[in-house]
Amino acid sequence: MKLYKIFKNAILITVACLALSACATSKKSTGQMQGDVYTGTDSVEYLASGVPDRVFFATNETVLTTASRETLRKQAAWLRKNSKISIVLEGHADERGTREYNLALGERRANSAKDYLMTYGISSDRISVLSYGKERPVDSGSNPLAWSKNRRSVTVKAN
């Protein structure tokens, strides 16, 4: 009888552990996305300390999120301080779209970022735009989290 109780407890504990670890993994993926916009940091690089290089988009969208605008304002401030630096805005789409449309979508995303930088005083002479469509994902996975990392515009130093 006692043995049975121990056994039962052991099973309960195992079940609890499994539930916890399941929570941990699902939390990890939802915690890095708001709606379907990527909010994590593991694929982000930095132009300078505190200046992230990329912004993320919702599926099929080209509008900038609040977080994206904040990132771009940091980039604009940094570019104003470093007036000799020119940049390329590289626009990307996820793999869930047709190739040609995604090329156009990537171009539109990079231009959203460009327009915003220009309203914060960065001359269009310093900005060029390059769309890769879905050709250069940063995450090769085929799942919503990977796709959210890939829908992005990345600011790259041109010189």
For another protein, the binding residue among 14, 16, 29, 135 (CB under 8 A) is 135
What is the nearest approach in angstroms of another protein to the Cβ of residue 142?
Answer: 3
User: What is the rounded distance in angstroms from the CA atom of residue 17 to the CA atom of residue 59?
Assistant: 35
The verdict on 98 binding another protein (CB under 8 A) reads yes
Q: Which is nearer to another protein, 77 or 118 (CB)?
A: 118
What is the nearest approach in angstroms of another protein to the Cβ of residue 85?
Answer: 18
Q: Which of 59, 65, 35, 30 is nearest to 134 (CA)?
A: 59
What is the nearest approach in angstroms of another protein to the Cβ of residue 65?
Answer: 17
**Cβ atoms of residues 113 and 55 within 8 Å:** yes
For another protein, the binding residue among 27, 115, 123, 157 (CB under 8 A) is 115
The verdict on 97 binding another protein (CB under 8 A) reads yes
What is the nearest approach in angstroms of another protein to the Cβ of residue 21?
Answer: 17
Q: Determine the 3-state secondary structure of 119 from DSSP.
A: helix
How far from 76 is each of 1, 22, 73, CA to CA, in Å?
71, 41, 5
The verdict on 61 binding another protein (CB under 8 A) reads no
**Cβ atoms of residues 93 and 102 within 8 Å:** yes
For another protein, the binding residue among 131, 148, 153, 155 (CB under 8 A) is 131
User: What is the rounded distance in angstroms from the CA atom of residue 55 to the CA atom of residue 41?
Assistant: 11
- For the four alpha carbons of 73, 76, 82 and 88, in that order, the dihedral sign comes to positive
Q: Which residues sit at the interface with another protein, rule CB under 8 A?
A: 60, 62, 95-101, 103-105, 107-108, 110-112, 114-115, 129-132, 135-143, 146
